[in-house]
Amino acid sequence: MLQRIIAPGAASPRGPYSHAVRAGDFIYVSGQGPLDPATNQFKLGDVGSETRQTLENIRRILQACGADLQDVVKCSVFLTDVKDFAAMNQVYSEFFGDIRPARTTVQATLPGLGTKVEIDCIAYKPTR
């Protein structure tokens, strides 16, 4: 059974997609960027501040699914400039620490006007 999730208190999706989809015990979180949930506008800044906002958005969505960051098994990180890797990685480490999900990081052109980072993830949280 699939459950499509729009998380209360999260910025509205900017397209025809759900914040997340639960498929059994797995939660697939759509790519998130530095959207401010209070204004539904991009909160642009340096890659560190954008990464922080993006991961806070992901945490909010996971919590709406009954999960949290410790349940994340895989992240994909998209950067507009691979030179921002170290700064992104520093903030990413603050959120994930010893959890250390599998991860892919690539340089990409992002659809958010001027955003530097987008992250999606897969979490595993048994529904029991």
pLDDT of residue 42: 95
Alpha-carbon distance of 19 to 30, in angstroms, equals 6
Given pLDDT bands bounded at 50, 70 and 90, which one contains residue 71? very high
Q: Percentage of the chain with pLDDT > 70? A: 100
Domain enclosing residue 68, as ranges: 2-124
Alpha-carbon distance of 46 to 88, in angstroms, equals 9
Assign residue 110 the CATH number of its domain: 3.30.1330.40
pTM: 0.96
**Domain count for the chain:** 1
For residue 95, give Cα distances in angstroms to 40, 58, 88, 99, 125. 22, 11, 11, 9, 18
DSSP strands (E only) in 64-114: 72-79, 102-107
